[in-house]
Structure 1
Amino acid sequence: MKKYLFFAVSILVSASLSAKETKIDLNELAQKYFDTMVATQSPGATKKELETHLNLLTEDVGHSHLPWVTDDSRLPNGKEAMRKGMTFYLGAHSEYNAELLDVFTFNHSAVAIRYKNYAKGTHPENNQPIEYSQVMMEVLEIEDGKIAVIRKYHE
């Protein structure tokens, strides 16, 4: 009988600890996401900054960035696709800064960040100068402590 009681208590404690581990501070995750994203856009950004940012994402992350990327389907190679796309633009900016304006949390499954950014540089595909300032909102859906879906919107 003692074995069964010990086994039952062990399972309850283990389940309780697992449940606590999946609850994360969404404000902290949002700040970390913003900081690492900004680091990937800076003029001196390297693959190190890119990988630090990508470590926050699930392997099958879905991503949309309207109007350019409209399909946010989660695919097995989602993180690899983001790595490829972000590597293409790595170091394209000669100037970049961003200011986090708002963080909105939705229970433990989503967080939205709103920020203003300014970028200047050269487009890597056509070598044309680029310069823009915009207000963005990103909705980040969370799964098991990682970002599973990213939806980017322009104000």
Structure 2
Amino acid sequence: MKKVFVLFLTLLFSSALLADDAPIDLDALAKLYFEKMIATQSPTATKKELEAYLALLADDVGHSHLPWVTDDSRLPSGKEDMRQGMTFYLGAHTDYSAELLDVFTFNQSAIAIRYKNHAKGIHPQNNQPIEYSQTMMEVLEIEDGKVAVIRKYHE
């Protein structure tokens, strides 16, 4: 009886481990990431939208946004650093729109999204009007179902 019970527990435990290794739908994750990310750029964005976006990121997320942020090192404070930086710019846009152009997925480790965006607003640091339109590519490294590294490139 003990052997049957041990066998049962072993099967139950191993099936639970296998379930955690199920492939992630990277295409769906890319679209969700884009949706949550652009919501943080809306003129009406609040901390609620910011936290929904940050929930997709690893705690030690690395981030680069060339040419302004060049170091994408993963630090324990990565998500908190993103929170602070993004909170500073929250609500700075008076107009924002974005269109997802392409999604590329690479095995279970990376996503690239390409999109066009247009923004208009007041820069919170110098109170000067800003307006830009650009095509961006973000390369996202995925680890344990979370975005571990973000690399932003301008076309």
What's the TM-score bracket when you normalise by the shorter of the two chains?
A: over 0.9
Query: Which residue pairs with 2:18 in the alignment?
Result: 16
Query: Which residue pairs with 1:48 in the alignment?
Result: 48
Query: Aligned-residue CA RMSD in angstroms?
Result: 1.1
Counterpart CA distance in 2 for 1:5 and 1:128 is: 68
Q: Residue deviations 1:94-148, cap 9 Å, x none?
A: 1100000000000111100000000011111011111100000000111111111
Counterpart CA distance in 1 for 2:117 and 2:87 is: 20
Query: Which residue pairs with 1:121 in the alignment?
Result: 121
Query: Which residue pairs with 2:34 in the alignment?
Result: 34
Query: Which residue pairs with 2:93 in the alignment?
Result: 93
Query: Which residue pairs with 1:131 in the alignment?
Result: 131
Counterpart CA distance in 1 for 2:38 and 2:30 is: 12
The worse-fitting range, judged by mean Cα deviation, of 42-51 and 8-17 is 8-17
User: CA shift at 1:4, angstroms?
Assistant: 4.1
SS of corresponding position for 1:6: helix
Aligned-residue sequence identity (percent) comes to: 71
- Given candidates 2, 5, 8, the residue that maps to 2:4 is 2
Counterpart CA distance in 1 for 2:30 and 2:16 is: 28
Give the AA of the match of 2:151.
R
Counterpart CA distance in 2 for 1:45 and 1:6 is: 50
Give the AA of the match of 2:105.
T
User: CA shift at 1:5, angstroms?
Assistant: 2.9
Q: Residue deviations 1:9-30, cap 9 Å, x none?
A: 233312211212xx21111111
Give the AA of the match of 1:2.
V
The number of residues matched between the two structures is 153
TM-score where L is the length of structure 1: 0.94
Query: Which residue pairs with 2:79 in the alignment?
Result: 79
TM-score where L is the length of structure 2: 0.94
Give the AA of the match of 2:66.
L
Structure 1 gap ranges (5+): none
Counterpart CA distance in 2 for 1:42 and 1:35 is: 11
